[in-house]
Amino acid sequence: MSKLQGNKKEKETTQAHEIRSGQSIELLKELHILTRDGKLNQDSRRKLKQVYHLYQFIEPLLQEIQNDHPDITLADHGAGKSYLGFILYDLFFKERKDNSRIYGIETRDELVQKSEALAKKLDFPGMSFLNLSVAESIASDRLPERIDVVTALHACNTATDDAIHFALQKQAKFIVLVPCCQAEVASVLKKNKGKTLAKNALTEIWRHPLHTREFGSQVTNVLRCLQLEAHGYQVNVTELVGWEHSMKNELIIASYKNLPRNRPGERLQEVLQTLGLEEMASRFFTEAKAS
């Protein structure tokens, strides 16, 4: 065997080891993680690593639910092309012989139709795709009354809060969020900056426009964490390292533990008042609301 052939064989063996056993090659091609001829290049190798990195956070949550009851329900809110849902189904749900189901919830009908076609092509019968708004998804009889896991990956601006609202109404055991493009809090900080600048030295933290945007993004996620804690969840925040093509890589994982709620609720209100964000209290509600 020539040196060239040896290097080629070694490369193919390395690629085989990088792809998990049982992984659908066809799906990885459809998601552009593999090239059309089923190979890994430098870019796709990075994407595959990122996919598995995200999965390692979610797999233990699914296993915990599996230990409690057999049929797992997961809703991916603001699913887009259902990238996350397909990966989770392929790696965890595909081999299950029960009534577990992944629901991809998306308001753009063309994306819902494309996801439906891909699920049919891949023979993934445990996936459903729904063209629904948040309010519609809470009330819809096409979804069960309770959902075990709610995910929202790079749900822009208030879409993450919509997913939280849905998860709270559906009494989700786990909530997995990768927030993105948090502009609303920053806009309120900017609007009220002139009134608070003379009275509160803390306003210097977001006086400059760049700092307003960055601080607003961080405050948004702090308020979300307090909101979840005020509903009895234990919240962990970590970095989703290198998630594809985005600097927005904060990962929030909330696990329902029925923890004491008064203190985080009080702290949330204090933060809103200190920063002049009282008008946003309804967005970060701390009591269950009827749909």
Full pLDDT tens readout for the chain, 291 residues: 554 544 444 444 445 557 888 889 999 999 888 888 888 888 778 777 777 888 999 999 999 999 999 999 999 999 988 989 999 999 999 988 899 999 999 999 999 999 999 999 999 999 999 999 888 999 999 999 999 999 998 777 678 899 999 999 999 999 999 887 778 898 999 888 877 776 788 889 999 999 999 999 999 999 999 999 999 999 999 987 654 444 567 899 999 999 999 999 999 999 999 998 999 999 998 875 433
Closest to 149 (Cα-Cα) out of 227, 223, 68, 230: 68
* pLDDT value, residue 37: 83
In a domain? residue 4: no
The DSSP string of 197-260 is HTT-GGGGGG-SHHHHHHHHHHHHHHHHHHHHHTTTEEEEEEE-TT-TT-S--EEEEEEE----
Closest to 253 (Cα-Cα) out of 175, 170, 180: 175
In a domain? residue 291: no
* pLDDT value, residue 10: 40
> What element of type H or E holds 177?
strand 174-180
Vertex 284: Cα angle to 283 and 285 (nearest 5): 95
In a domain? residue 19: no
Contacts of 231 (CB under 8 A, 6+ apart): 168, 261, 286, 288
- Our measurement of the distance from residue 70's CA atom to the centroid of its chain's CA atoms, rounded to an integer in Å, reads 23
In a domain? residue 61: yes
* pLDDT value, residue 11: 45
Contact by Cβ (8 Å): 182, 217: yes
Name the pTM for this structure.
0.88
Structural domains of the chain, count: 1
Residue 63 class from Cβ within 10 Å (0-12 exposed, 13-18 middle, 19+ buried)? Answer: exposed
For the chain, the straight-line distance linking the first and the last C-alpha, in angstroms and rounded, comes to 68
* pLDDT value, residue 7: 43
Categorise residue 129: left if φ over 0, alpha if ψ from -120 to 50, beta otherwise.
beta
* pLDDT value, residue 224: 95
In a domain? residue 85: yes
Can you tell me the distance from the alpha carbon of 73 to that of 146, in angstroms, rounded to the nearest whole number?
A: 8
Encoding tokens for residue 134?
Answer: 């948040």
* pLDDT value, residue 241: 65
Q: Are strands 250-256 and 174-180 parallel, antiparallel or unpaired?
A: antiparallel
Closest to 106 (Cα-Cα) out of 85, 76, 64: 76
Residue 137 belongs to what domain range?
Answer: 47-280
* pLDDT value, residue 9: 46
Query: In this structure, what CATH number is given to the domain that contains residue 115?
Result: 3.40.50.150
* pLDDT value, residue 252: 95
* pLDDT value, residue 256: 97
